[in-house]
């Protein structure tokens, strides 16, 4: 896998959430601002996609059907340490202080439900645009 993403290439984001309406909403919003977006419904699908493409950032739902967000993030770190540092976690479940610190060190956390403008702002901070 090529370690660099060409400067001329659009920002590429991977959205990982088992809820189709959330995947669609987030993908549509990020596509409208000019980013390329791929979406995965579970961790296995996401890991396969990460092996095939380079992403600037990822959005991970904490509660996936096949593994939790922290375990998925560990797998992502093993495959692509740069991507692992540019991750926004999402969850509708209240999170512990330890988890919130973990998320902050990785990119951030956004509670569901969320305002789409806040999501876009947070993602721009994570990818540096």
Tokens (6 digits) for 47? 């890991």
3-state secondary structure of 14: strand
Q: Distance between CA atoms of 12 and 39, rounded to whole angstroms?
A: 11
- Give 2's DSSP letter: -
pLDDT for position 101? 77
Residues 11/129, Cβ–Cβ less than 8 Å: yes
Q: Distance between CA atoms of 38 and 2, rounded to whole angstroms?
A: 18
Report the predicted TM-score, pTM, of the whole model to 2 decimal places. Answer: 0.87
Q: Collect the ranges in the chain with pLDDT lower than 70.
A: 1-8, 95
CATH (one of 3.40.50.2300, 3.30.1510.10, 3.40.50.10470, 3.40.50.970) for 12-127? 3.40.50.2300
Domain locations in the chain as residue ranges: 12-127
pLDDT for position 92? 78
pLDDT for position 82? 94
pLDDT for position 33? 94
pLDDT for position 13? 98
pLDDT for position 20? 97
pLDDT for position 108? 85
pLDDT for position 6? 44
Phi/psi at 120 (5° precision): -65, -45
């Amino acid at each position: 896998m090529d370690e660099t993403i060409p400067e001329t290439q659009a920002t590429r984001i991977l959205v990982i959430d088992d809820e189709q309406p959330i995947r669609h909403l987030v993908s549509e919003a990020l596509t409208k601002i000019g980013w390329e977006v791929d979406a995965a419904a579970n961790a296995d699908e996401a890991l396969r996609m990460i092996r095939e493409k380079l992403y600037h950032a990822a959005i991970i739902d904490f509660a996936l059907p096949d593994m939790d967000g922290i375990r998925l993030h560990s797998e992502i770190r093993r495959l692509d340490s740069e991507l692992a540092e540019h991750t926004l976690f999402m969850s509708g479940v209240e999170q512990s202080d330890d988890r919130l610190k973990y998320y902050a060190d990785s990119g951030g956390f956004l509670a569901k439900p969320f305002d789409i403008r806040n999501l876009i702002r947070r993602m721009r901070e994570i990818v540096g645009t």
